[in-house]
Structure 1
Amino acid sequence: MALLADLGYEGVGLTLDHMHLDPLAPDLTTRTRRLAHRLDALGLDVTVETGARYVLDPRRKHGPSLLDPDPDDRARRVDLLIRAVRVAADLGAHAVHCFSGITPPGTNPETAWHRLADTLAPVLDAAATAGTPLAIEPEPGHLLATLADFHRLRRVLGDPEHLGLTLDIGHCQCLEPLSPADCVRAAAPWLRHVQIEDMRRDIHEHLPFGDGEIDFSPVLAALAATGYQGLTVVELPRHSHAGPHFAELSLPFLRRAEATATRSPALVPPHGDPSATPEGSTS
């Protein structure tokens, strides 16, 4: 965090994990309070992310998920998310990020959707009590993979106030029918957290800026024009071995793209424009 602050970043997407504020270790409240003081001293905002690969099970990546057949396993994921909501509230975080998980083999889509809605209900209750939005991320290969899938979940749950969206700009490039900038505009009413990196069409690989196909100036212009107030965090999960290097390169790249966007503002339709908001589901 000190490195990020020194480089000029204004916030951090903090993934709860055994090496970063372990959510399952003792004295979580005390450790969270200490972290809150550190964030304040560094002048960093924060969003709490929950995408740690092996935090619950050392043998299953991202397991167990909200979709697991075993209700006890689903409960472990729910417990983690509720812990994350409490941590986020104590840190004054913008939101708590999460995702659906992959549909287990042999599970039909309708069962998976009912399971997702049921398991998210207590998490949303905790989020409402804490006053902290839950921001679910459409993830390629997961049950909830697209913006259309987000809207399906939102409708099934009755459009709860504290259900928001994490939008990954690379994922938009990878598989959405709209351009990344149009995805930002379509998602604006529900947008609570943004992850950003480069990516190519149909290839789910997080790339450093300039190594993919995204034109970032229109994306940043759309974020500014829609009035988004959360964090936009660089997500390069397979480049952590060179984290300081890519952290140093990424912020100047985004600032140059932002400067270009400021000189050429994009036209923005009203929030929630039906023509820009995907409906239905691709499941």
Structure 2
Amino acid sequence: MTLRLGYGTNGLTDLRLDDALGLLADLGYDGVGLTLDHMHLDPLAPDLAARTRHVARRLDGLGLGVTVETGARYVLDPRRKHGPSLLDPDPDARAARTALLVRAVGIASELGAHAVHCFSGTTPPGTSTDTAWERLADALAPVLDAAARAGVPLAIEPEPGHLLATLADFHHLRTLLGDPEPLGLTLDIGHCQCLEPAPPADCVKDAAPWLRHVQIEDMRRGVHEHLPFGDGEIDFPPVLEALAATGYTGLTVVELPRHSHAGPELARTSIDFLHEAVRRTGKGAAAPC
């Protein structure tokens, strides 16, 4: 079984980015889920080009792969978590989120990232479902054009509570957009446990043709809380076995954004847990680093 493990920088926000990347390489991770945010690689900083080149060199020197993630809480608006979104009633606000995602595609291309992650956002009060889907499709069109030019897929994540919350919602968006080639899926294993009707391993199988990025953590049914491995309900060996069977070769990134206070230790225990879960599948060990 080949499993390329990464850890999300949104769970290492108390560390400088150079230090976080060094830590992950030392622990044996294959890559990093790099959230564009003010404390690491700020997508709005005036020295973005130079900093992106520095990060690219650092990743290359450490032998780390990368996915670019865009779930920073306050990167666009210091007063609104994840605001503005692709569903914002204000066209200029939606355009700001679209511009951020287009910029993320450019950064991903410079870093050699295998995907750019995003999500829809929640439906604003007073907005009909049809209007929200129309806004989402329109706002993503320039991002998908940029992704096609860059050769970097856009991987949208079903997020509990958002307009696009489930795998069925992802397929609805695909249909609305005419199934564009650059549009792929971020599958969060915990979200499958939380919300999907099928078990997480079956979700992996169902998602396989569109899988471009994977996030992983423990979770409980009906509770959207990212938990360290062993604190939730997920049986991981079947999930990892299903993931290997898809032929997915991108990163599988540990996603613990509320645990930065214990980030270095959780990064260590998480990779140990996942290596042991792979061994328990009886199909080999994770790929050597």
Under TM normalisation by the shorter chain, which class is it?
over 0.9
1:185-222 per-position Cα deviation (integer Å, ceiling 9, x unaligned)? 00000000000000000000000000000000001001
Aligned residue number for residue 7 of structure 2: none
Aligned residue number for residue 129 of structure 1: 149
Instruction: Select 1:119's aligned residue among 139, 142, 160.
Output: 139
Aligned residue number for residue 40 of structure 1: 60
Instruction: Select 1:229's aligned residue among 249, 263, 266.
Output: 249
- Superposed displacement of residue 89, structure 1: 0.4
Aligned residue number for residue 147 of structure 1: 167
Relative to the length of structure 2, the TM-score reads 0.90
The one-letter code sitting in structure 1 at the alignment partner of 2:229 is F
CA–CA separation in structure 1 for the residues paired with 2:240 and 2:164: 25
Aligned residue number for residue 184 of structure 1: 204
- Superposed displacement of residue 30, structure 1: 1.5
- Superposed displacement of residue 28, structure 1: 1.3
CA–CA separation in structure 1 for the residues paired with 2:99 and 2:132: 19
Matched, 1:175 2:201: no
| Unpaired runs of at least 5, structure 2 | 1-20, 285-289
Q: How does 1:269-280 map to 2 (within 5 A)?
A: none
Contact 1:48 1:97 in 2 (8 A): yes
Instruction: Select 2:226's aligned residue among 183, 206, 223.
Output: 206
Matched, 1:30 2:50: yes
CA–CA separation in structure 2 for the residues paired with 1:47 and 1:262: 28
Instruction: Select 1:53's aligned residue among 56, 64, 73.
Output: 73
Runs of 4+ in 1 over 4 A off after TM superposition: none
CA–CA separation in structure 1 for the residues paired with 2:154 and 2:283: 34
Relative to the length of structure 1, the TM-score reads 0.92
- Superposed displacement of residue 159, structure 1: 0.3
Which one has more relative contact order, counting CA pairs under 8 Å at least 6 apart?
Answer: 2
CA–CA separation in structure 1 for the residues paired with 2:137 and 2:181: 15
| 1:35 partner SS | helix
CA–CA separation in structure 2 for the residues paired with 1:167 and 1:108: 26
1:114-164 per-position Cα deviation (integer Å, ceiling 9, x unaligned)? 000000000000000000000000000000000000000001000000000
The one-letter code sitting in structure 1 at the alignment partner of 2:31 is G
The one-letter code sitting in structure 1 at the alignment partner of 2:108 is A
| 1:249 partner SS | helix
Aligned residue number for residue 3 of structure 1: 23
- Superposed displacement of residue 260, structure 1: 1.1
Instruction: Select 1:253's aligned residue among 273, 278, 283.
Output: 273
Identity of paired residues, percent?
79
The one-letter code sitting in structure 2 at the alignment partner of 1:260 is R
The one-letter code sitting in structure 1 at the alignment partner of 2:212 is R
Aligned residue number for residue 5 of structure 2: none
Aligned residue number for residue 244 of structure 1: 264
The root-mean-square deviation of aligned C-alpha atoms, in Å, is 0.8
CA–CA separation in structure 1 for the residues paired with 2:99 and 2:282: 43
The one-letter code sitting in structure 2 at the alignment partner of 1:74 is R
Q: How many residues align?
A: 264
Contact 1:221 1:262 in 2 (8 A): no
Matched, 1:85 2:105: yes
CA–CA separation in structure 2 for the residues paired with 1:237 and 1:91: 22
The one-letter code sitting in structure 2 at the alignment partner of 1:133 is P
Instruction: Select 1:158's aligned residue among 152, 168, 178.
Output: 178
Contact 1:198 1:206 in 2 (8 A): yes
CA–CA separation in structure 1 for the residues paired with 2:119 and 2:281: 30
Instruction: Select 1:17's aligned residue among 37, 46, 53.
Output: 37
| 1:238 partner SS | coil
CA–CA separation in structure 1 for the residues paired with 2:243 and 2:180: 23
